[in-house]
Amino acid sequence: MHKEFASVWEKCWQLELLATPYELKHRYRDRWVRFHCLPESKRYAESESETAVILDRYNSVLDELFGGGEVCVVRAEYSGRRARRGLQKAWRTTVYDVDPEFGPSRADLFLTRHVWQRGLLDPRLRKVADDREPGGIITDPGARWLFHPYDGGMDVIAPTAADRDALRDRHQDWLSKHPQEF
């Protein structure tokens, strides 16, 4: 599984994007859309009912992108920190953000594959929404769609601008009011 996904990823995307998913919106702006998880672009939940809205929005988009299929979940551990899941071995290691003063940063990448079902990633998505864990990337085995959850929302990179527009149009109420985001 890991070798297959590595081959697919390298044909479609750049490796360091797995460590820096926040860069996706800059590199693939023509296929990018951002959705907010709470009304009026509120960033954090203050109640269980707001947390339910966040998880519903994450899961609604994930259902549309991957419903019934497989998903590959890539998470990163930054700068050599130990994996949170015991002694799990990193799938890949990548260097990113080479700083002239401090040198390169390193991320160990961990890959898991699942059959998608609504709620599958809720414990992880809850941590992401609370800014307790980085969002990573969720994609299909062919790496056509990229889904990056973050605290406050989600970035999606679609295979084409038309795919992005169709997804965006189905969730108009979740879009940012900021003129540079849509």
- The domain ranges of the chain are 2-12+29-174
For residues 131 and 125, the answer to whether their CB atoms sit within 8 Å is no
User: Which amino acid is located at 74 in the chain?
Assistant: V
How confident is the prediction along the chain (182 residues), in pLDDT tens digits per residue?
Answer: 688 898 898 898 877 788 888 888 999 999 999 999 998 889 999 999 999 999 999 999 999 999 989 999 999 887 645 545 555 778 888 877 766 776 678 888 899 999 999 999 999 999 999 999 888 999 999 999 999 999 999 999 999 999 999 999 999 999 977 655 55
Starting from the edge strand earliest in sequence, which strands make up the sheet with 137-139, in order? 32-36, 153-157, 146-150, 137-139, 70-78, 103-115, 92-99
What's the whole-model pTM score? 0.89
Could you give the angle at the alpha carbon of 118 between the alpha carbons of 167 and 13, nearest 5°? 55
Tell the residue number behind the tokens 């900021």, with chain if given. 178
